[in-house]
Amino acid sequence: MGRLDGQVVIVTGGTGGIGRAVCRGVVAEGGRVTVADVGRERIDEVVAELGSERALGFPFEAREDENHALVQTTLSTFGRIDGLVAAAGILRKRGTPPKPVVQITVDEWDDVIDINLKGTFLSNRAVLPTLIAQHSGTIVNVSSVSGLVGRAHDGAYCASKFGVVGLSQVLAEEVRRDGVRVQVVCPHAIDTPMWEQNHPVPKPGDALPPERVGELIVTLLALPADTTLLNVQIAPLGARKRKPKPETAAS
C-alpha cells in the first residue's frame, strides 16, 4: 500500500516535466491519475507508461467547458476525485525571446496569463464543487520563485505566477472549513524543456530535476488532512552559497 492508495488525482500539464513526474509519483504511491494536457500523442505515451488501469488521458485546452468535461470524465471513469495538481504553464509565448515589459505585446501577455493564471483558476474552480461536497481533497498549484520575487524580462510570467500564489492563498482561506486544502509550490530553476523558451539565457548548472519537485508535490498530496503548507519553496542546497565555517584556532 502506498501513501495515495485508492486516491484519484487530476494533473494538468501532465505530460510536462513536473506534471509527468507527479503522475508517476501518484501511481507509484498506489493512486490513479488523469493526465490532462494538450497533444494526444504525448498523453498516450504517458498513459502507456503508467498503464491504462491506473491512468486516464484527457486532451484539453485552458477553457471553461473543457475543464468541466475533465472533471466529469474523471468522475465517470474512476468514480471519485481526491486531488488536483495544476502544473500546466508556459514561460512566454512560443518563439519569443526574453524582453522588457515595454516591449511585450498584448498577445504575448495574454498567452502567458491565460495558460498560467486563468488556466489555474479554471481547473481549481472546476474541481472544487466535488471536493467541497465530499468535505475532503487537496489542490496543489504550481507557481515559481518568480511568483515571489520579480525578475527582469519575465514580466508576464512573474505576474501570472504571483497571481497563482495569491489565488491559492485566497482559496485556502475560502475552503478550509469545507475540509479542502489548497497549497502552492514555488520551485527554483527546474531542468525541464521549458528552459528552451528562455534562449539565449543559459540553464543554471544547479537546476533541480523535475522528479524532485514531483516528489515534493506527492508528499503534499499525502499530508495528514489537518496539515497545510503554503508557499512551499524548493531549490537545490547549492542555490545559495554558504559561508565556510571559520577554522578553530589550535590551542
Nearest to 46 by CA among 28, 55, 38: 55
Distance CA(218)–CA(63), nearest Å, equals: 26
The catalytic residue among 60, 78, 157, 162 is: 157
Rounded-to-integer distance, Cα 104 and Cα 90, Å: 15
99/107 Cα distance (integer angstroms): 14
Helices 210-221 and 17-28: crossing angle, nearest 10°?
50
Grid cell digits, residue 76 = 465517470
Catalytic residue check, 157: yes
Report the alpha-carbon angle 15-157-126, nearest 5: 55
- Are residues 64 and 39 in contact, defined by beta-carbon separation less than 8 angstroms? no
Q: Output the nine-digit C-alpha cell for 121.
A: 483558476
The DSSP letter of residue 217 is: H
Residue by residue, DSSP assigns 19-85 as HHHHHHHHHHTT-EEEEEES-HHHHHHHHHHH-TTTEEEEE--S-HHHHHHHHHHHHHHHS---EEE
- Provide the residue type at 93 as one letter: K
Which residues are designated catalytic? Answer: 157
